[in-house]
Chains A and B, each alone.
Chain A
Amino acid sequence: MSLGSRALAITQPVPLAPHDRGAERHGRARRRRKALVPYAMLTPLVLLILGFVAYPVLNVVYYSFQNYNVVEPFLNGFAGWSNYSTMFRHDPLFWTSLEFTAKWVFAEVFLQLVFGLVLALILNSAFRGRAIARALVFAPWAVSGVLTTTIWLLIYDPQAGLIGYLSDLGLTPHGFTILADTHTVFWAAILAELWRGLPFFAIILLADLQSIPTELIEAANCDGANAWTRFRYIVAPHLRDAVILSTLLRCVWEFNNVDLLYTLTNGGPGTETTTLPLYIARQAITEHNFGYGSALTMAGFVILLVFSVAYLKFSKFGASRGYAP
């Protein structure tokens, strides 16, 4: 737009114009210059994405076939498939981390979806003080993983934490360290992340609920529909695509959610709560083993890709509104 194309697209239809009819009488050179305008506007975006997303992805492919360790530079060089064979054959932590990742993602997304939907339905009905209730309940959305850890450490601490009150009631033994016990650490981490993740689904589903035409609900009421039939035949079909898309985004997001586990449990006790991305982050941060970390990253890419494609295919995304994914 900065190229000052005064006559461009005066009669441009929305949203896409195959040609600028208004520009027909102007010279060809001018038209060609105008055709460059969108590309000029997109240049910063495309350069940044190419430089800091696409190029790094190619780098990961390359490094996964290299020995590349900052601590042992004398071993650096082409490694062939050795990183991959180590990963598949000689690294039990790779497999246990995959197993935990699946458990973590499934439990987290499932609980967030169920409670998020309930919360969205509540906040979609009219009552006094709804705006305030909404702002308060959504507040953890803005909180970072590290801050979530901070807050829940204060709760989980056996001496000073809220959990001490549970011990006073006789529910847990005194001095019980919930984050050091292999049986409870999973649910402790799940609860903390649920606290932060709930608003995501509630916000998206609430946005979608508000786009249901009120006439539809009123018509159903006239026909004597109760709350359950309204939900079953109007609300649920309407929410379908939003649910499919937001659960997929959330699966990817929780898969890659390193901040909380890194600070709350640091993958422990032992390696109990180590997800694959957490394992990768540790290869980068503490082991400095960039080659092996890249091979692990490749595994992560493939898993995400296969999962996403399969998920969209089997959930028949877009089927209810008649457009393909």
Chain B
Amino acid sequence: MSAAPLGIAGELARRWERSRLYLWVPLGLFMLFTLVPFYWMIVFAFRPDGSTHPYPWPVTLANFKLVWNVLGFGVFFKNSVLVGVGTLVGVNVISALSGYALARFSFRGRGFLVVGLLCTQFVPGVMLLIPLFIIFRHLGLIDNLLALVIGDTVFQLPLTTLLMSGFIRSVPVELEEAAMVDGCSRLKAFRAVTLPLLRPAFVAIGSFAFVGSWNNFLFALIFMNSQDHFTLPVGLDYTIGEFSVNFGALAAGGVLAAVPVVLVFAIVQRYLVQGLTVGAIKG
């Protein structure tokens, strides 16, 4: 790469370069920092009560049985799945509709709408807790999971719409036009040509929406009253707030909350890096 180095110093520098320790050492440190906390939670979740070994052996599922059956995590899990899937569907359908309009049509107010969508990023849900609570109370949706689906969907939509319109713009409009020349209606052209090409977009946006709603804590904390309607984050907070924390149970609850999102993430993380270049940077 550079001019041939001389002497022992040069030899050392070359070895350093070849061994690529400058890469492996920091990467190893990052790995430790990321993975040790996960490992520690897994240790707590699987080892028997009272054990102090830094490894989960002998493995027991007692903590999981306790949180799932007694502490209500079975119900919380079901609620989180319902809200997550509802949000995923809502966000995908609405961002596909509006993303298509933004990508393929010119109309009055388009620029204004894009700016408006970007502005919503500065009005996050936390700041609107009070008025949203009052609105949902008027709608009779307090303690109803639908309130969470609506709330989560609304606050995901601005970004997912812009992302989706970026994805749709990256599909050449000529493909649709060719189908229309062949006698397809616009709807049919979209369905037959563009929609299949958008699969990565739906996967990426769907997982954004699912993870976002799965992780939303404050909405569920404030809009849900009864334990039957708690979601996993609220259930975890509840367990943390217990008079004396049962760390085994807390860790088992944490594993239950972590597994679905980490799985979703493992599937989509490749799209994530691609999706951000296509959608977000082009705006």
Residues of chain A within 8 A (CB-CB) of B257 are 144, 146-147, 150
A-B pairs under 8 A by CB, number: 292
Q: Whose C-beta in chain A lies nearest to the C-beta of B168? A: A15
Main secondary structure of the interface of A (DSSP, over half): helix
- Per the bound structure, the CA–CA distance linking A176 and B180 in Å amounts to 71
**Which interface class (under 10, 10 to 19, 20 to 34, 35 or more) fits A?**
35 or more
The verdict on A83 contacting chain B, using a C-beta distance below 8 Å, is no
B70 CB–A CB distance under 8 Å: no
Give A135 to B34 CA distance when docked, in angstroms: 11
- Which positions 237-257 of chain B face chain A at CB distance < 8 Å? 237, 240, 245, 247, 250-251, 253-254, 257
In the complex, are the beta carbons of B121 and A63 less than 8 A apart? no
* Cβ-based interface call for A277 (8 A): yes
Neighbouring B residues of A213 by C-beta, 8 Å: none
Looking across the interface, which residue of chain B has its beta carbon closest to that of A7? B180
Task: Let me know if B34 and A136 touch, CB within 8 A.
Answer: yes
Highest count of chain B CB atoms <10 Å: which of A12, A17, A155: A12
Q: How far is the CB of B81 from chain A (nearest CB, A)?
A: 15
Give chain B residues whose Cβ lies under 8 Å from the Cβ of A57.
123, 128, 131
Quick one: which of B104, B110, B214 contacts A9, CB cutoff 8 A? B104
The answer to whether B128 and A155 touch across the interface, beta carbons within 8 angstroms, is no
Is B186 a contact partner of A297 (Cβ separation < 8 A)? no
Known: A1-B186, A142-B262, A249-B121. A122 touches B128 (CB 8 A): no
Q: Is B44 an interface residue (CB 8 A)?
A: yes
Report A-chain residues with C-beta under 8 Å of the C-beta of B31: 133, 136-137
Cα A280 to Cα B135 in complex, Å, equals: 18
Whether B40 pairs with A151 at a CB distance below 8 angstroms is yes
Shortest CB distance B154–A (Å): 4
In the complex, the answer to whether B97 meets A9 with C-beta atoms within 8 Å is no
A residues in contact with B154, CB < 8 Å: 48-49, 52-53
B151 CB within 8 Å of chain A: yes
Report if A42 contacts B (CB, 8 A): yes
Q: Which residues of A contact B217 (CB under 8 A)?
A: 144-146, 259, 262-263
Q: Give the distance in Å from the alpha carbon of A275 to the alpha carbon of B95 in the complex.
A: 33
A16 CA to B103 CA, complexed, in Å: 8
Please measure, in the bound complex, the distance between the C-alpha atom of A46 and the C-alpha atom of B217, giving whole angstroms.
25
Task: Name the distance in Å between B262's Cβ and chain A's nearest Cβ.
Answer: 6
A111 CB, min distance to chain B CBs, angstroms? 12
Q: Is the CB of B272 within 8 A of A127?
A: no
Complex interface residues of chain A between 40 and 56 (CB less than 8 A to chain B): 41-42, 44-46, 48-49, 51-53, 55-56
With A137-B31, A154-B44 known to touch, is A263 a contact of B240 (CB < 8 Å)? yes
Besides A4-B187, A63-B130, A136-B31, 12 more A-B contacts (Cβ < 8 Å) are A37-B105, A38-B110, A42-B102, A53-B128, A122-B26, A127-B20, A146-B240, A162-B36, A203-B272, A207-B273, A207-B277, A226-B1
Interface residues, chain A, CB within 8 Å of chain B? 1-2, 4-6, 8-12, 14-18, 35, 37-39, 41-42, 44-46, 48-49, 51-53, 55-57, 59-60, 63, 115, 118-119, 122, 125, 127, 131, 133-147, 149-155, 157, 160, 162, 195, 198, 203-204, 206-208, 210-211, 221, 224, 226, 242, 249, 252-253, 256, 258-259, 262-263, 277, 280-281, 283-285, 290, 293-294, 297, 300-301, 304-305, 308
13 A-B residue pairings within 8 Å (CB atoms): A9-B186, A41-B97, A52-B151, A55-B131, A133-B31, A142-B261, A146-B215, A147-B215, A147-B236, A147-B254, A207-B276, A259-B218, A293-B130
